[in-house]
Structure 1
Amino acid sequence: MRQRRTNSPGSTVQLNERTEILRLKREIGLTSAVSLIAGTMIGSGIFMSPEWVLRNIGSPAGSLIIWAACGLLATFGALSYAELGTIIKESGGEYIYILRNFGSLPAFLFAYTSVIVVRPAGVAAVSLSFAEYAVAPFYPGCSSPQVVVKCTAAACILLLSLVNCLSVRLATSLMNIFTVAKLLALLVIVVGGVVLLANGQTQSFQNAFQNTRSGAGAIGIAFYQGLWSFDGWNNLNYVTEEIKKPEVNLPKAMMIAIPLVTCFYLLVNVSYFAAMSPAELLSSGAVAITWGNKVLGNWVWLISLAVALSSFGSANGTFFSGGRMCYIAAREGHMPDILSMAHVQCLTPSPALIFTSVVSLIMIIPGSFSQIVNLFSFTAWLFYGTTIAGLLYLKIKKPELPSSYKVPIIIPILFLVASIYLVLAPIIDQPQIEFLYVILFIFSGILFYFPLVRYKLHPTFLRKFTLHLQLLLEVAPTEKDVN
């Protein structure tokens, strides 16, 4: 906290209070850190993606291998990010690591893509899946009207925006509660699977590798669908400046959350295959509901409720970190100044959160779940690989940098190889025009970078507009806290 000498003691106190207001607080402890990771990872994916993983890979055994490999890859990524987080102790995740290692233009392209596409797409996809399960009980025996589904998803986004703008503590408390609820829901499915296996329902595991596909593109798309369920393993790096003792809690939370989630995912998939044949699973529009009809009978509504709550909790975690991404990019001068400000009383980055919610609302209008997942995954893994390349650069060129945690170099190397494969394999083996659109969109950011960031050609009306928004939203610029 900075202090100035003045003739009036009162003015010094006023400056101190003001300085404290303009800095986000460290309110995320170990429990909340674990909940932020696990609570974001366990969303709609495990209740929807198994069908798509099986559809692309072709066999039950192949599906289980994909799920285990996804968990291992997420663990490798988290270990690598943990070291980055203890070297570069700033919030912002991939954005801040790319900025510090590769410079302004690559970081801007990531921020431009992430703020406008990747993070809002994640919020939109999870909100749509929440809406599907939330409204399904009101339309038994038929598909839910898309207007109702999308209006419910919009209501979910607006509620999350309100909660996250009001209080960091309220948002993290919700994450803790929903994480416990969804772990209990997964535990019900796991126990149900154990009972089925004990009763001899093992037909799906006979000739379990039959029909396995080995094409690079098929495996890549299967990974996209599986890794969607693990998305959130890197969320803690977006809020490093808000974590208590990040040098300790950052790696510890990752080592608790990700193996826990991976074990649950594998056991849940085994339970699905115990209850359903591969053909039944492929024909199921909602895998968890089909499982509930077979195993729980009249209590299947519990699964609908659990999936809805799980998706809502995951959307909360995605929204929480997505708003911080936008906020940090603006603080570094890569986004409009208003997005770098925080509410003077609630100490939340409310302009960035509101902007993220607006873009997410726009994306739910034309989007479908599977389309959003594939485009999200392709873009995300492109930048994950870039981030890990930065870590390898630091480990090789600057090994003297202080870090309380170091990962063996083979782990980020393996993660980088996997990232390159996940970006290139679908393009080479199963080219889709959507991938070209994503690449063109990323590089279109260059058109905005040079006039707005490099040469700072800001129109006068924008400054006046920013001032009016400050007064309306009661926000002010913030300071970093990397101590």
Structure 2
Amino acid sequence: MGEKKPEALKMKREIGLTGAVALVSGTMIGSGIFMSPQYILTDMGSPGASLVIWALCGVVAVFAALSYTELGTVIPESGGEFVYILKIYGPCPAFFLAMNYMLIQQPFSHAGQSISIAEYVLAIFYTDCHPPQLAVKCAAAVALLIVATVNILNARIAVRIQVVFLMAKVIALIFIITGGIVELMQSSSVIAENLKIENAFKGTQFSLSTLGMAFYQGLWSYAGWNNLNCVTEELKRPEVNLPRAVVVSISLVTGLYLLVNVSYLTVMTSKELMSSSAVAMTWGNKVLGSWGWIMSMAAALSAFGSLNGSFFTGSRVCFVAAREGHMPDILSMAHVHRLTPSPALIFTTAISLLVLIPGDFKSIINFFSFTAWFFHAIVLSGLLYLKIKKPELPRPYRVPIILPILVFIVAIFLVLAPIVDNPQIEYLYATLFLCSGAFIYIPFIHYKLCPGLLNKLTVFLQLFLEVAPAEKNL
């Protein structure tokens, strides 16, 4: 009798509807709602205009997520944007997406989230001034390492953490909303200044640059709407749970964000909000007095849950890109016992720690958003191509074509508006970095030069990390 062939490793389908909702909304509700309100208000110049931006960002996130849902049922593989571009446009643009995602998008996203955790934790101890940048960076690095360790050890625990932290986040946001209602009933002085019709839009700034920057900050707060597309192979009944989780999650988050911003504007003046480095802490000090530190801790825990969800889904893109031959083979492997993509997680953590060194929160978010929406535009154009040229493809879920068209227009605006109206050297750096990928792709991916160059290192790391190749789970 022939020897039985060992079964290949596969990622397990362990994410149900509850876990899916937790991954999407739990990642979205994070640092953004506690860090971005002051930046949006500063960019737009008026409370009314800032609330309009928050609402529009929610609409864009819903339309974009529903468009991605159709792609996720047409191409039911993990990897998100990478696998969609690979299947529609081919390996070359997919490689550029993978490089951008692994070296810019995810590391900058993780760095921004970890900085917000550090800012809120340290705000408890530095009540009268901003914490030292060295302390912020060190605390942010510790947060990154804790989240990475959890995701490396056990995927199921990471999902459970997401569910628990989601409930804690929603409770914290409901508390802020309730506090704003109570404050409004007790005194109307601040609300009269901020939200009365005659004052709500006073001082609004109209320019392509400020509008683009405000959308960058707002959409950062909704970042995570496409998370489930990164883990489709680990999702139970994706054709059913993907659209349901998206609609439930983004509707919940949009409603909470609008009400929380109204609460902020009820309790604080516009000047206080714009000058705050930790808006939840400022809100807590005004409403709770000496117990204001509770809100700072709640904001830190919220950002921690968001960072955990981002790590869980983001590492899968790195994993899938390597599995398709666009990155070193070691990144496509999973731990033989834990079945987690530990090499991809370790790599993502290392790059995120490097990004922490020079970055500040606002510049990190602008850099992240510029590159992210560039590739969102490419993916949406691919969906439009499939809807027009290949209508015969099986689609368990469909969206009206007007939705991806509208989001595609928004994505083009977000990429071009800041460059046209207020060009900055950072956007040139981002463009040059993306173009530099050609020096890697052409010799090593397209022509496959030096195929054995990394073999010895791959074997060593495979034995050291106890990992093995994993197959697709379709």
Fold shared by both chains (TM-score > 0.5) = yes
Deviates more, 1:399-408 or 1:137-146: 137-146
Q: Which residue, 253, 272, 279 being the options, matches 1:280?
A: 272
1:65 matched to 2:52: yes
Q: Answer yes or no: is the 8 Å Cα contact 2:79–2:317 preserved in 1.
A: yes
Q: Which residue of 1 aligns with 2:145?
A: 158
2:318 equivalent in structure 1: 326
Once residues 311 and 108 of structure 1 are traced to their aligned partners in structure 2, the CA distance between those partners, rounded to angstroms, is 30
Equivalent in 427, 439, 443 of residue 435 of structure 1: 427
In 1: Cα distance, 2:243 partner to 2:109 partner: 24
Deviations 1:320-374, CA, capped at 9 Å, x for gaps:
1111111010001000000000001000110000000000011111111001000
Question: Which residues in structure 2 correspond to 1:299-378 (within 5 Å)?
Answer: 299-378=291-370
Query: Shift of the alpha carbon at 1:145?
Result: 2.2
Q: Which residue of 89, 92, 110 maps to 1:105?
A: 92
**Distance in 2 between residues matched to 1:386 and 1:53, nearest whole Å:** 26
Which of 125, 135, 158 is matched with 1:138 structurally? Answer: 125
Matched residue, 1:4: none
1:125 maps onto 2:112 in alignment:
yes
Q: Distance in 2 between matches of 1:185 and 1:78?
A: 25
For the residues of structure 2 that align with 1:306 and 1:248, how far apart are their CA atoms?
33
Matched AA of 2:133: Q
Aligned to 1:296: 288
- Report the residue type matching 1:27 in the other structure: E
User: What percent identity do the matched residue pairs reach?
Assistant: 57
Residue 403 of structure 1, CA deviation: 1.1
Does the aligned pair in 2 maintain the 1:190–1:271 contact within 8 Å? yes
Gaps of 5+ in 2: none
Which of 246, 259, 269 is equivalent to 1:267? 259
Query: Secondary structure of 2:52's partner?
Result: helix
1:452 maps onto 2:406 in alignment: no
* 208-217 vs 243-252, greater mean Cα deviation: 208-217
Other-structure match for 1:3: none
Correspondence 1:206-245 to 2 at 5 A = 206=196, 207-245=199-237
Alignment partner, residue 425 of structure 1: 417
| 2:250 is equivalent to residue 258 of structure 1 | yes
Point out the more displaced range, 272-281 or 142-151.
142-151
What residue number does 1:53 align with?
Answer: 40
1:205 partnered with 2:195: yes
1:114 and 2:101 are equivalent in the alignment = yes
Distance in 1 separating the partners of 2:129 and 2:271: 21
Superposed CA offset, 1:350-407 (max 9, x none): 0000000000011111111001000000000001111010000000000011011100
Corresponding residue for residue 239 of structure 2: 247
Give per-residue Cα distances to partners, 1:259-297, cap 9 Å, x unaligned.
100000000000011011111211222211111111111
Give the match for residue 37 of structure 1: 24
The letter for the 2-side match of 1:73 is V
Structure 1 gaps of 5+ residues are 1-6
TM-score by length of 1: 0.96
Deviations 1:95-152 (A, max 9, x none): 1111111111111001011101110110111011101111222333232222222111
Distance 1:412 1:481 in 2: 28
Q: CA deviation digits over 1:33-89, x for unaligned, max 9?
A: 000001110111101100000111111000000000000000000000010000000
1:80 corresponds to 2:67? yes
CA RMSD of aligned residues (A): 1.1
Contact 2:285 2:293 in 1 (8 A): no
Does the CA contact (< 8 Å) of 1:120 and 1:322 recur in 2? no
